[in-house]
Amino acid sequence: MGMATAILSAVSVGAQLFTSSQQASAASQAGQAQANASYYNAAVQRNNAIAAQQAAAFNAKQQRKINLAREAKLEAGLLHSGVLLEGTPLLLLEDAAKEGGLEEAKIIHTGEVQASGAQAQAGLDTFSARSAQAAGETRASGLLTSGIFGAVGTAGSALLRN
């Protein structure tokens, strides 16, 4: 009877250790999967930041072309009417140029704000990924340790009964 109990205890200890190692592996893999998703999201956000900057640069360039055409049209209209480009007419042209420059700056600023937001989100996603990895590893360690202590307890109980 003692040999059968010892064999059953050994099988029980082995089963506990095997189960704990499987649970620990699953916890680690789950943490890594979550981390991978967060790292992917961070990469997407970094790309969004680049795209926002590129779009702003393109839109500002387009606005610059519109501004130059508007200024040229204004200047041509003034010259066609026979007005000299000095005094008030010159101030009109300067104001048009300043207004256009402000529009361009606003476009660039909007792009920078969007890029900054995307970069901040990328940082949060990276932090989330690292946290998920750490949590998975911590959970895996806890499960494995718990399984080891459970197996030791089972083995100890079996030894004490004999």
pLDDT tens string 115-139: 999 999 999 999 999 999 999 999 9
pLDDT tens string 74-120: 888 888 888 777 778 778 888 889 999 999 999 999 999 999 999 99
Quote the CA–CA distance of 154 and 18 in Å, as a whole number: 14
- Apex 44 CA angle, 40 and 47, nearest 5: 140
Q: Note the pTM of the prediction, 2 decimals.
A: 0.72
What's residue 7's pLDDT? 75
CA atoms within 13 A on the CB side of 65: 5
- Grade residue 1 by pLDDT with cuts at 50, 70 and 90: very low
CA distances from 101 to 11, 63, 76, 94 (A): 80, 9, 20, 11
